Amino acid sequence: MHIHILGICGTFMGGLAALAQASGHRVTGCDQGVYPPMSDQLQALGIELTEGFGDEQLALQPDLFVVGNVVSRHHSAHGVAKYPLMESILELGLPYVSGPQWLSEHLLHRSGQEFHVLAVAGTHGKTTTSSMLAWILEYAELQPGYLIGGVPLNFNTSARLPQRNGKTARPLFVIEADEYDTAFFDKRSKFVHYRPRTAILNNLEFDHADIFDDLKAIERQFHHLVRTVPAKGRVIVNAQESSLQRVMDMGCWSECEGFAAQARGSNKITGQVSVDWHILGPAEDFEIHHQGRFMGRLRWSLSGVHNQMNALAAIAAAHHVGVDVATGIQALEGFQNVRRRMELKGQVTLGAASSAENVETSAGLGPQTVSVYDDFAHHPTAIQTTLEGLRRQLGHKARILCVFEPRSNTMKLGSMKALLPQALECADLSFCHTQGLDWDAQEALAPLGTRAMCASSIESMVELVSAHTRAGDHIVCMSNGGFGGIHAKLLSHLAGALGRTS
């Protein structure tokens, strides 16, 4: 089958393209405004990519068009279609389907090749937890497939097909289960298509203000996911989240295990969820307990309680398919995280910039060194937990500069702007990129006083950040997009700036 993918450079659709090609299909696609890592992955696979959404692509004559949720029926004030290819597909009655539906019907649940799907859902941590889970299964020699919205450093690709391993009844497939809607013609959350046998509900709070009216609407979608898990399947749920308690109180017809940061006085917190798994100890060295029994100690380099919880959820999910806890711990001690999750892009020392490839860790960098990181965080909670984790790792003497871009649809709408001052509290200085915002970022950040500054362009942002940078600083750039290549621009500019200082 020849499929042509509209919106192929999104993390999900790019991974789907890789899986389709590996399954023997011919794959082409189109998109605009592409950036790494997905553009690099598609190029490496040799997948033909067309810039834009012009209807001249009808000449490719694919058997099926697979439509990403970036595509809409949007028209300009003058009636010009933003996606003319989609308009022509509709006008001519050509076959089309959403990405999640194609994945479900042609790969995950294809007749004669049913996969055991392990789905990771949650407002935060989906990519990291999915990567942890896939790595645990790989370490246990179960040869899982996966589709992850990022590039796990243990694999260096965002998607691959599973293999039969002789140890499980079905091939295993780990998928990042996104609650965002499927397509302009299917407003259900993507994850309802995946029909998992193991489902992680990692956390849940309000997000995606462009498609959900309130938290209750998202809770309903999460319950739709719970409804798809079979009776002998398992839902692994964060027992500390009141929103997820409400989801489970709507009904659960499968096995259920809860996890938490620490055990409570009573095993049952409320409703459906009990605490079967919990952790004890600091982020870099902590104990894992299952049903009141000590199972082992995990020592690793990741920081933050959020990563402890991600690890616990991944170990619990792997346990459901037969991986013992000790093996899960051993696997995670070698976990290398995900690109764009506190990824050190480079350092500048006395005017000399070096790439992150030559730097093993940010720890121990000398006082004359400035470090620049890339991180995908864009929701206030994710920003806060990431900065808190870095602060605990570095201590209170080091300076943290947070450079962030409110790029997601939710952040552009300004519905969470009031949460930003608290989210940025652990940063010594914060810099907001305001291009494209309809709300006053400087006013929203006013509680931070002189610790918060704004810039309307990448160039002015580089100048502003550089003017406030000192040797020894840690600069964290946060965006769910390419951020205009600000990381390289900062490194280049700072190399010259620091070279002029003693």
Domains and their CATH numbers in the chain: 2-98 (3.40.50.720), 115-333 (3.40.1190.10), 343-499 (3.90.190.20)
Q: Are 120 and 225 in contact (CB under 8 A)?
A: no
Structure tokens at 425: 């509290």
pLDDT at 103: 96
Residue type, 469: T
Higher pLDDT pick, 433 / 366: 433
Q: What is the pLDDT of residues 487-500, one digit of tens each?
A: 888 888 888 765 43
What is the per-residue DSSP string for 195-245?
--SEEEE-------TTT-SSHHHHHHHHHHHHHTS-TTSEEEEETT-HHHH
Q: How far apart are CA 216 and CA 333, in angstroms?
A: 37
CA 82 to chain centre: 27
End-to-end CA separation in angstroms for the chain: 63
476 phi and psi angles, rounded to 5 deg: -110, 115
Rounded to 10 degrees, what is the CA torsion of 146, 151, 156, 161?
Answer: 20
Place of tokens 């990022």: 150
Indicate the DSSP class of residue 81: B
Poorest-confidence range of 1-5, 36-40, 64-68, 252-256? 36-40
Burial of 293 from C-beta contacts in 10 A (0-12 / 13-18 / 19+): exposed
Q: Any idea what the Cα angle at residue 479 is, between residues 473 and 483, rounded to 5°?
A: 85
For residue 477, give the nearest of 401, 391, 389 by alpha carbon. 401
Q: What is the pLDDT of residues 358-394, one digit of tens each?
A: 333 334 444 578 889 888 777 788 888 888 888 877 8
For residue 446, give the nearest of 404, 413, 418, 410 by alpha carbon. 418
For residue 366, give the nearest of 388, 348, 391, 378 by alpha carbon. 348
Poorest-confidence range of 178-187, 203-212, 331-340? 203-212
Indicate the DSSP class of residue 191: G
Q: How many CA atoms lie within 13 A of 16 on its CB side?
A: 28
Indicate the DSSP class of residue 78: T
Structure tokens at 17: 């393209």
Q: How far apart are CA 407 and CA 404, in angstroms?
A: 9
Q: What is the pLDDT of residues 131-165, one digit of tens each?
A: 999 999 999 999 999 999 888 888 878 899 998 88
Q: Are 271 and 306 in contact (CB under 8 A)?
A: no
Q: How many CA atoms lie within 13 A of 282 on its CB side?
A: 9
Q: What is the pLDDT of residues 215-262, one digit of tens each?
A: 899 999 999 999 999 999 999 999 998 999 999 999 999 999 999 987
pLDDT band at residue 265, thresholds of 50, 70 and 90?
A: very low
Quote the percentage of the chain above a pLDDT of 70: 91
Query: Is there a cis peptide before residue 37, judged by omega within 30 degrees of 0?
Result: yes
Q: How far apart are CA 69 and CA 181, in angstroms?
A: 7
Element (H, E) at 255: strand 255-260
pLDDT at 185: 95
> CA 102 → CA 58, 97, 105, 134, 421, distances in Å?
20, 7, 5, 22, 42
Q: How far apart are CA 415 and CA 207, in angstroms?
A: 9
3-state secondary structure of 468: coil
3-state secondary structure of 431: strand
pLDDT at 120: 97
